[in-house]
Amino acid sequence: MTSPVGLHRVVEPAGVLPQAAWRLDADPRIAANEVRIRVERLNLDAASFRQLAEKHGGDGEKVRAEVLEIVSARGKMQNPVTGSGGMLIGTVEEAGRRSPLGLRAGDRVATLVSLTLTPLTITDGLARWDGRSEQVPCDGYAILFARSIAAVLPPDLHPELSLAVLDVCGAPALTARVVAEQVARRSREGDPRPVSVAVIGGAGKSGSLSLAAARRAGAARTVGVVPVAAERDALTAAGLADVVALADARDPVGLSTAVTTALGVPADVTVVCVDVPGCEHGAVLATADGGTVVFFSMATSFAAAALGAEGLAADVTMLVGNGYVPGHATLALDLLRAEPGVRGLFEARLAAD
């Protein structure tokens, strides 16, 4: 029996969902409710790529070898340290007659589900990848389940640019929802205070999109927090934040001070988009009582976040960005098209890679 969530592809351990499985069956033969994608490019999760690069001292050959080893051993791309994967683009080779995804052979698509639950085989040894960038040109195939999500790539954008945006499209969508809810609640309650938003890692992919989404959703004041002067200058030039602050997100007091100084008050909504661990306590400290912290980084320790908030007696709501909000792909691509600052940051990042 073929499961819509891919249980039939789990090799070990039995009884878990594909994301939690150690190994998946990546057999290219599809069931009636599956789709097979010919893979063109992977986009590794930022936290996963950083961990691999740091582990191997920036040696691209060793990074490439470990990615190949992971996919070969596990039948999917799931970093065993960070637990994260990424996403991919490719072309539909075959769609089962009972697949509900609406995809047809020849469609060029981006998967909007994680590589951690996507059966994957690489057939070219990653020969075209130097191991030094998050985007990985490759040849191979992947399997989508009935409950998977994929978006047909827009014809007006370069595929690599679309991939970079769609990789993080859940972040701006959830940010927009949270900010809009805060704005609406204050309006209902007759509270005249404007809603302020801090985005930690504001010059990155998810961070820049989240800043644009927060402003569009009604945030009256925004601050983008970055760790180095080069990112400060780039984000300032992009014009996506009212204030750009320099701070190490792993320094709780320093981060909180930077946000409060920039806004004049703690943030009503704090969005964490950095790909390093140890940023939980600073995000909590930077957020006003009654506010919300949204964690998008796969480097987040949710135990540290919860226990830290308890220990600080912080009355904040903490949300895990799960990567899916209805309409998230359309929103992210629209922000890219409408906001020159966002597009400039993405194109600069791709050029650097």
Domains recognised in the chain with CATH numbers: 7-153 (no CATH), 169-351 (3.40.50.720)
With contact defined as beta carbons under 8 Å apart, do 81 and 17 qualify?
A: no
With contact defined as beta carbons under 8 Å apart, do 271 and 278 qualify?
A: no
pTM (2 d.p.): 0.86
With contact defined as beta carbons under 8 Å apart, do 94 and 35 qualify?
A: yes
Q: Report DSSP state, residue 57.
A: T
Where helices occur in the chain by DSSP H, the ranges are: 46-55, 60-74, 159-166, 170-189, 205-216, 229-238, 252-263, 280-285, 302-311, 328-338, 340-352
Q: Report DSSP state, residue 123.
A: S
**How far is Cα 37 from Cα 50, in angstroms, rounded to an integer?**
27
CA geometry: angle 176, 179, 184, nearest 5 deg: 120
**How far is Cα 93 from Cα 145, in angstroms, rounded to an integer?**
14
Q: Report DSSP state, residue 8.
A: G
Q: What would the two tokens of residue 105 be?
A: 């052979």
Q: Which residue type does 104 have?
A: R
Q: Listing from the earlier edge strand, what are the strands of the sheet with 86-95?
A: 120-122, 135-144, 35-44, 86-95, 108-111, 150-152
Residue 341 CA from chain centroid, whole number: 19
With contact defined as beta carbons under 8 Å apart, do 55 and 131 qualify?
A: no
SS3 of residue 34 by DSSP: coil
Residue-by-residue pLDDT tens, the chain, 353 positions: 689 999 999 999 999 999 999 999 999 999 999 999 999 999 999 889 999 999 999 999 999 999 999 999 999 999 999 999 999 999 999 999 999 999 999 999 999 999 999 999 999 999 999 999 999 999 999 999 999 999 999 999 999 999 999 989 999 999 999 999 999 999 999 999 999 999 999 999 999 999 999 999 999 999 999 999 999 999 999 999 999 999 999 999 999 999 999 999 999 999 999 988 898 999 999 999 999 999 998 778 888 888 888 888 889 999 988 788 999 999 999 999 999 999 999 999 998 87
**How far is Cα 275 from Cα 300, in angstroms, rounded to an integer?**
8
**How far is Cα 38 from Cα 89, in angstroms, rounded to an integer?**
8
Q: Which residue type does 49 have?
A: F
**How far is Cα 223 from Cα 244, in angstroms, rounded to an integer?**
6
* DSSP-assigned states of every residue in 248-276: -TT-HHHHHHHHHHHHSS-EEEEEE--SS
With contact defined as beta carbons under 8 Å apart, do 262 and 224 qualify?
A: no
